[in-house]
Amino acid sequence: MTKKQILARIGQIIIVLLGISFITFALIMLSPGDPVRQMIAGNEDIVVSQVEIDALRHELGLDKPFIFQYLDWLGRAVQGNFGFSYMVKKPVVEQLMESLPATVILAAASTIFMLVVSIPAGIYSAVKRNSVFDYFVRALTFVGVSVPNFWMGLMLLWIFGLKLGMFPIVGGSVTPQNLVLPALTLGIVMASKYTRQVRATVLEELNQDYVVGARARGMSESHILWKEVLPNAMLPLITLLGLSFGNLLGGAAVVEIVFSWPGLGYLAVQSIIYRDFQLVQGIVLWIALMYMIINLIIDASYNRLDPRLRKAGK
């Protein structure tokens, strides 16, 4: 990607983030519940009068028109101040920094498992098309893509946690033992999808004219596969890999809840339950930002690896 293209993408990211922040802020403001009353709900021993509630609402700017509330929040957010979370009793940015590593670790572990399983299985399934192994892989991946994450997680928890006692059934901390089952849950479902995609992409490349020409020139099947087919087949999969990793950063909430994994997804659900609107807004923007940055990196890598796009960009 050229500098001009990168700057254009960064501009798009800023516009999208502004749109997401506005929509999220509007949905939060339209949702039922009073943030001020929620803030004082946990202090049952404190009696607060309506005058004090109104004063606190004025202090927080909640008595202003919606657009002014949004602009006040946006002005603080641009400076890195996303507000204060009354659920965890600390600044939103500080809590995000504490929860982010857990989500990144879970996403990375799941992605590594997915790649280790899906790439060899997908390639071998394509090469041995219509063999017993191919039928087995296709059946297994069909089951994998049909199973919801939460059901897979509950089954793994029941088998390896309750029945075999190999892993703890209650998480709550970032440890290798607590990581295994949630990473397997996400990794198995992702590997099923990715294996099917790898198989389809390799099969598509094997049917290309250049493969027929390579065989006609007497090249070995192993040379054709590793030197000709796989480099071309892996290029479209890079984009899918980026999307998968981006989805994991924001789409693992159900698995994090099942295993009590203290990541952003778990934090988001808890903040919605407690109506901690400042924290909800911060989490949504962080997830959106990470997703778009990862896609930007993947697109830049794709342009680097594909010589056709490199020539087009010059």
Residue 211 — very low, low, confident or very high, per pLDDT cuts 50/70/90?
confident
Predicted confidence at residue 139, as pLDDT, reads 93
> What average pLDDT does the segment 140-163 reach?
87
Residue length, the chain?
314
Inform me whether the pLDDT recorded for 136 exceeds 90: yes
Q: What is the pLDDT of residues 58-75, one digit of tens each?
A: 766 677 777 888 888 888
Predicted confidence at residue 40, as pLDDT, reads 64
Inform me whether the pLDDT recorded for 215 exceeds 60: yes
Higher pLDDT, 135 or 37: 135
Find out whether 73 and 83 touch, Cβ atoms under 8 Å: yes
> What average pLDDT does the segment 10-25 reach?
88
Inform me whether the pLDDT recorded for 135 exceeds 90: yes
Residue 253 CA to residue 267 CA, distance in Å, equals: 8
Find out whether 213 and 186 touch, Cβ atoms under 8 Å: no
Residue 85 CA to residue 170 CA, distance in Å, equals: 25
Range name among 98-112, 174-188, 237-251 with the lowest pLDDT average: 237-251
List Cα–Cα distances, 30 to 54, 116, 275, in angstroms. 19, 45, 12
Residue 199 CA to residue 44 CA, distance in Å, equals: 59
Inform me whether the pLDDT recorded for 132 exceeds 90: yes
Domain boundaries, the chain: 1-92+277-314, 101-262
Predicted confidence at residue 140, as pLDDT, reads 92
> What is the CA angle 158-186-142, rounded to 5?
90
Residue 68 CA to residue 74 CA, distance in Å, equals: 10
CA nearest neighbour of 296 among 233, 243, 244: 243
- In this structure, the number of other CB atoms found within 10 A of the CB of residue 307 comes to 9
CATH class of 101-262: mainly alpha
DSSP for 15-56 reads HHHHHHHHHHHHHHHHSSS-HHHHHHHT-TT----HHHHHHH
List Cα–Cα distances, 200 to 32, 123, 141, in angstroms. 47, 9, 13
Predicted confidence at residue 232, as pLDDT, reads 79
> What average pLDDT does the segment 275-300 reach?
82
Residue 121 — very low, low, confident or very high, per pLDDT cuts 50/70/90?
very high
Range name among 46-50, 105-109, 245-249, 304-308 with the lowest pLDDT average: 304-308
Q: Please tell me the pTM assigned to this model.
A: 0.80
Predicted confidence at residue 41, as pLDDT, reads 63
Inform me whether the pLDDT recorded for 238 exceeds 90: no
Higher pLDDT, 257 or 307: 257
Q: What is the pLDDT of residues 193-208, one digit of tens each?
A: 889 989 998 888 888 8
Q: Within 13 A of 27's CA, how many CA atoms are on the CB side?
A: 11
Residue 281 CA to residue 18 CA, distance in Å, equals: 12
What is the pLDDT of the chain when averaged over all its residues?
81
Residue 218's SS3 state is coil
